[in-house]
Amino acid sequence: MRLRVINPNTTSAMTCKIGDAAQRIAAPGTNVVAIQPTDGPVSIESHFDEAISAVGVLEEVLAGEREGTDAYVIACFGDPGLLAARELTRAPVIGIAEAAFHAASLISTRFSVVTTLSRTGIIAEHLLEQYGFRHHCRRVRAAEIPVLDLEEDGSAALDRIIDECRRARDEDGIGAIVLGCGGMADLTQSISQEVGLPVVEGVTAAVKLAEALVGLGLGTSKHGDLAFPRPKPFTGRFERYSQLSNDR
């Protein structure tokens, strides 16, 4: 199985971290290709960042289609471009927020999300509503750290995340914690040991869900709103998308 894990931002250190986490959890027969767009934001911390990064995500899906990719993971907790990406392929496309919510709901009746910034926490709340998990989530908490602080050795980012996870455990009445950033892909074990609760991280959860769907022979439906986009002319910088073929 060929799995394309797309980091929607352009920070290569984060892409490597995400790819390593994905490969460690993947089954022996899964070939993980961790990739990032050439153009876009170095981190994703706003609706604007997500909108810009979504174009890069879609370009990486189209590239994956040319390479015969079996499944895709979008490794940003905002799941940027998720439904548009599903339109471009018959393969499963898994967003890490959706995957983490599903996994957490299977092991606990209540969970809290610990993310980076309060403003991205609001985006996570929107996704909880959209995906139907709002009643499972007690609270979305922010450690108030910029995403790129997770890439700095010796920063206080991990300690602040652990402190927020402890507060979630003690105050929220939960059974599990969801980590709300793809840049936390390597922190699951250390946080779980410190907090004493199951900790769900979206990259690894998405990898296993993608493998399961491929194993079940299930792909993205091409009936209804996830059918391939209708071929049409595009202009200007997007002219290359004109007349996308539907014979994939």
**What is the per-residue pLDDT for 151?**
84
The whole-number average pLDDT for the span 122-139 is: 97
| Residue 95 confidence class, pLDDT cut points 50, 70, 90 | very high
Contact between 111 and 243 under an 8 Å Cβ cutoff? The reply is: no
Pairing verdict, β 71-74 and 111-115: unpaired
pLDDT at 106 over 70: yes
pLDDT at 155 over 70: no
Length of the chain: 248
pLDDT at 181 over 70: yes
What is the C-alpha separation between 168 and 10, in angstroms, rounded? 31
Pick the CATH number of 2-95+205-241 from 3.40.50.1970, 3.30.450.370, 3.40.50.12500, 2.60.40.4070: 3.40.50.12500
The whole-number average pLDDT for the span 153-180 is: 92
Sequence-separated (6 or more) residues with CB below 8 Å from residue 248: 65, 88, 89, 90, 228
**What is the per-residue pLDDT for 102?**
98
What mean pLDDT is reported for the chain? 95
Range scoring the smallest mean pLDDT among 80-84, 135-139, 228-232: 228-232
pLDDT at 246 over 80: no
The whole-number average pLDDT for the span 99-103 is: 98
- pLDDT tens for each residue of 137-152: 999 999 999 999 888 7
Sequence-separated (6 or more) residues with CB below 8 Å from residue 232: 242, 243
| Residue 211 confidence class, pLDDT cut points 50, 70, 90 | very high
SS3 67: coil
**What is the per-residue pLDDT for 153?**
67
**What is the per-residue pLDDT for 66?**
95
| Residue 170 confidence class, pLDDT cut points 50, 70, 90 | very high
| Residue 43 confidence class, pLDDT cut points 50, 70, 90 | very high
Name the residue among 100, 99, 94 with its Cα closest to residue 112. 100
**What is the per-residue pLDDT for 156?**
86
Pairing verdict, β 176-180 and 111-115: parallel
Paired tokens of 27: 């089954």
pLDDT at 248 over 90: no
The answer to whether the 2-95+205-241 and 97-201 domains have the same CATH topology is yes
Helix runs in the chain, H state only: 12-25, 47-66, 82-87, 96-107, 118-131, 157-171, 188-195, 202-215
The whole-number average pLDDT for the span 105-116 is: 98
pLDDT at 237 over 80: yes
DSSP string, 115-139: ES-HHHHHHHHHHHHHHT-TTTEEE
CA 243 to chain CA centroid, Å, is 29
The answer regarding whether domain 97-201 maps to CATH 2.40.110.10 reads: no
Name the residue among 37, 40, 107 with its Cα closest to residue 74. 37
Paired tokens of 169: 């455990």
Residue 212: left if φ>0, alpha if ψ -120 to 50, beta else—which one? alpha
pLDDT at 96 over 60: yes
Domain ranges of the chain: 2-95+205-241, 97-201
**What is the per-residue pLDDT for 74?**
98
The whole-number average pLDDT for the span 147-176 is: 90
**What is the per-residue pLDDT for 243?**
78
- Find residue 137's DSSP bridge partners: 111
